[in-house]
Amino acid sequence: MAAWEKNVRRVIPYTPGEQPNCTDIIKLNTNENPYPPSPEAMAVLRNMDGELLRKYPDPTAGGLIRELAGYYRVKPEQVFVGVGSDDVLAMSFLTFFNGKKPILFPDITYSFYDVWADLYRIPYECQPLDNNFEICTEDYKKDCGGIVIPNPNAPTGVEKDLSQIEEIIAANSDVIVIIDEAYIDFGGESAVKLLQGYENLLVVQTFSKSRSLAGMRIGYGFGNEKLIKYLSDVKFSFNSYTMNPAAIAMGAAAVRDDAYFRKTIGNIISTREWTKRELARLGFVFPDSKSNFIFASHPKVPAVEIFEALKAQGIYVRYFAKPRIDNYLRISIGTDRQMQALITFLEQYLGENV
């Protein structure tokens, strides 16, 4: 080891899902939205004035913040935006989890949480989900340095009842509780309505899933004004210009196009419910999902084998070789046609292999 390596901040990075460089696959591995972004958001991109790109962007991303504040009925001072919710979450870890006590999050959850905790040297303690992949409320009622819970959880898709989420927030008034709502728009109940009652609550959402803009990298968070100010102070100590002009303007246009948002979400929910029925018919078991993916296991065929067989067929889903979940596949909800192709293949494959 070279001497300089002793001073390196070493981390084991997060591994994102595969982004293969071909268009002829059915891509159900990264929970992207199968529908294009809002036509109004696309028009903003097409008509973007080069002058806006010549200059630095608005460091406050005011146009986007105002649109989000209006839509979600909060004050602009209660909104924070970032380069995807990953950026919002990473900034939040850095800002709020600055104590000596461990932060708490589920053992089966978004696999970036432990990476950020390690990166920032934040102690953490994972709380096991029960055998139905449910978060146990009581596990989050103890002395800790903060809490982060995705609702619905990933990769399980399981939603925790908002009254239970509120219990956790209320029991932890001394620390910040982050509710990561990346998948909330697919049928869950948002904690945004709890903001008035709890100044320790930060709700984080994203444009990547329900607004079909994963490539634009837009995330946002809501909290009380003091909390958002602390978060902004850290952000402005890190990088003034996180949001580019295209992201600011397209994000605002996507929020305005509520009819398109509701229509595409409605499609995804009905495709998800159809897929649940079909997977159950083929013998798969899965916890009920309120997200845009289903976390499924087959009692007779190992998940890794199904994963490989699907991939050979050009159908990409996500497989995690991790304790407790290594016999599950996370299948994102695509278009009706994509899901029909998945089910047709699985039916034939299971017919030959069971």
Q: Which of these ranges, 81-89, 170-178, 184-192, 338-346, lies near ligand PMP under the rule CB under 6 A?
A: 81-89
Report 124-183 residues binding ligand PMP (CB under 6 A). 150, 154, 180, 182
Question: Does 85 help bind ligand PMP (rule: CB under 6 A)?
Answer: yes
> Residue 182 or residue 195: which is nearer to ligand PMP going by CB?
182
Distance CA 72, CA 206 (A): 13
- Write the single-letter amino acid at 6: K
CB of 202 to ligand PMP, least distance (A): 13
> Residue 84 or residue 251: which is nearer to ligand PMP going by CB?
84
The Cβ of residue 259 has, within 10 Å, a number of other Cβ atoms equal to 10
> Residue 110 or residue 260: which is nearer to ligand PMP going by CB?
110
Question: Does 214 help bind ligand PMP (rule: CB under 6 A)?
Answer: yes
Nearest to residue 165, comparing CAs of 146, 155, 150? 150
Q: Using the rule CB under 6 A, which residue among 34, 84, 146, 251 binds ligand PMP?
A: 84
Does residue 119 come out as left (phi exceeding 0), alpha (psi in the -120 to 50 range) or beta? alpha
Residue nearest to ligand PMP according to CB distances in the complex:
84
From residue 245 to residue 284, the character string flagging contacts with ligand PMP as x (rule: CB under 6 A) and all else as - is ----------------------------------------
CB of 258 to ligand PMP, least distance (A): 20
- Altogether, the residues listed in the chain come to a count of 354
Q: Using the rule CB under 6 A, which residue among 57, 188, 219, 223 binds ligand PMP?
A: 219
Q: Which of these ranges, 116-124, 206-214, 261-269, 315-323, lies near ligand PMP under the rule CB under 6 A?
A: 206-214
> Residue 90 or residue 346: which is nearer to ligand PMP going by CB?
90
> Residue 207 or residue 260: which is nearer to ligand PMP going by CB?
207
CB of 219 to ligand PMP, least distance (A): 4
CB of 71 to ligand PMP, least distance (A): 17
Q: Using the rule CB under 6 A, which residue among 27, 38, 68, 86 binds ligand PMP?
A: 86
Are 79 and 220 within 8 A, CB to CB?
yes
Q: Which of these ranges, 62-70, 79-87, 171-179, 240-248, lies near ligand PMP under the rule CB under 6 A?
A: 79-87
Q: Which of these ranges, 5-13, 83-91, 241-249, 346-354, lies near ligand PMP under the rule CB under 6 A?
A: 83-91
Q: Which of these ranges, 82-90, 228-236, 267-275, 279-287, lies near ligand PMP under the rule CB under 6 A?
A: 82-90
Neighbouring-strand partners of residue 296: 329
Sign of CA dihedral 239, 254, 112, 221: positive
- Write the single-letter amino acid at 313: Q
Nearest to residue 158, comparing CAs of 184, 140, 123, 137? 184
> Residue 30 or residue 297: which is nearer to ligand PMP going by CB?
30
Q: Which of these ranges, 78-86, 259-267, 279-287, 321-329, lies near ligand PMP under the rule CB under 6 A?
A: 78-86
The Cβ of residue 269 has, within 10 Å, a number of other Cβ atoms equal to 16
Are 275 and 339 within 8 A, CB to CB?
yes
Distance CA 250, CA 233 (A): 25
Question: Does 221 help bind ligand PMP (rule: CB under 6 A)?
Answer: no
CA angle 207, 113, 100 (to 5 degrees): 130
Residue ranges that bind ligand PMP, judged by CB under 6 A: 84-86, 110, 150, 154, 180, 182, 206, 208, 214, 219
